A and B are shown apart, each in its own frame.
Chain A
């Protein structure tokens, strides 16, 4: 299945599908390693977390009016995962539930991915 513009109903039901069981997540926010090479004004911040095992008991999609969508996952230990800037989604052939934020120039800006199996190393 190809990456598609985020469908609120479908994404919410997918968040419900992966809840209350052990899953792995990939989380990412980036403005690109070349950001400050191309523009001195840019402060280059970013993160990625890969193959982090969690269990979440609440998973909610919000936003989407004048803002990009955001997702909050409340974890079984009381912790949180929060990602904003999401615009697209898909579930691939490995049952990996993928949420991406694609910026105005078509580049990946944010990602939250949830899978029952580990992501590729």
Chain B
């Protein structure tokens, strides 16, 4: 599937490395087409359990992950990388509307035509869910004609069963080497995956198939979000 020309693509995720696995090659494809891409990263991933090898500390991890994200951003040729500095793990407990406000401000500033984030209910980690909610709440406040197309990432075990085949499957085989470099830039978090990927075994085969062939996205109708919220 070829990507459509966009005025601006906005990517919103909570952690440095959230983009690496399932989105980084798509980002690079957009950049190669000349489409501006902004990555808004809400936390520094400072509460991760993987603290590097040799281990750093809880207090230093944020600096390491920030630097890793900056390097990954350089490798992906991101137009802009923005950090919001929220504490990892706390997004769902933040003041109501605060993160939505940040996202809304960014939407007004960049006027993206496409937005990449997580799919609510199918993104496993509480910070991911909180991000999805904030993003959708923000998009819902825009006038219908100003809303970006929502291209969301789902990876819960129920995904395929509930949501079916992803509507957008980006071919990323040509980006294998560059995506590998992006994954390597996040070394504190991806060490085990990098080992798996290099293996000449079934594990290696599966990992390469999963990450280097297609990046999958689901389209999302914001009206579903608006209507379902009303029913809650």
Chain B residues with CB under 8 A of A32: 49
Instruction: Give chain B nearest CB distance to A24 CB in angstroms.
Output: 12
Q: Which chain A residues border B126 with CB–CB below 8 Å?
A: 33
B58 touches A3 (CB 8 A): no
Give chain B nearest CB distance to A108 CB in angstroms. 5
Do B49 and A111 have beta carbons less than 8 Å apart?
A: no
- A3-B50 contact given A33-B125, A33-B126, A48-B89, CB 8 Å threshold: no
Is A57 part of the contact surface with B, judged by Cβ < 8 Å?
Answer: no
A residues less than 8 Å from B59 (CB atoms): 92, 94, 96, 98, 113, 119-120
Q: How far is the CA of A33 from the CA of B88 in the complex (A)?
A: 12
Query: Is A104 part of the binding interface, using a Cβ–Cβ cutoff of 8 Å?
Result: no
Contact residues in A for B87 (Cβ distance below 8 Å): 50, 121
A70 within 8 A of B: no
The 8 A CB mask of B35-77 against A (1 = contact, 0 = none) is 0000000000001111101111111101000000000000000
Residue of B nearest to A37 (CB): B124
Question: Contact size class for B?
Answer: 20 to 34
User: Is the CB of B157 closer than 8 A to any CB of chain A?
Assistant: yes
Contact A88 B55, CB 8 Å, known A34-B124, A121-B87:
yes
Interface residues on A, range: 20 to 34
Q: Contact check, B51 vs A48: say whether CB atoms are below 8 A apart.
A: no
Contact in complex: B58, A98 (CB < 8 Å): yes
How many angstroms between the C-alpha atoms of A121 and B56 in the bound complex? 19
* B157 with A107: CB separation less than 8 A: no
A83 within 8 A of B: no
Contact, CB under 8 Å: A34 / B54: no
Instruction: Flag if A107 contacts B124 (CB, 8 Å).
Output: no
Contact indicator A108/B49 (Cβ below 8 Å): yes
CB interface residues, A 4-50, toward B, < 8 Å: 26, 28, 30, 32-34, 37, 48, 50
**Distance (Å) between the CB of B22 and the closest chain A CB?**
15
- Residues of B within 8 Å of A33, CB to CB, are 89, 124-126
Interface residues of A (CB under 8 A from B): 2-3, 26, 28, 30, 32-34, 37, 48, 50, 88, 90, 92, 94, 96, 98, 100, 102, 106-109, 111, 113, 119-121
Interchain Cβ contacts under 8 Å between A and B, 29 examples: A2-B54, A3-B54, A3-B56, A3-B57, A28-B58, A32-B49, A33-B124, A33-B125, A33-B126, A37-B124, A48-B89, A90-B57, A92-B59, A94-B59, A98-B57, A100-B51, A100-B55, A100-B57, A100-B58, A102-B55, A107-B51, A108-B48, A108-B50, A111-B58, A113-B58, A113-B59, A120-B59, A120-B62, A121-B87
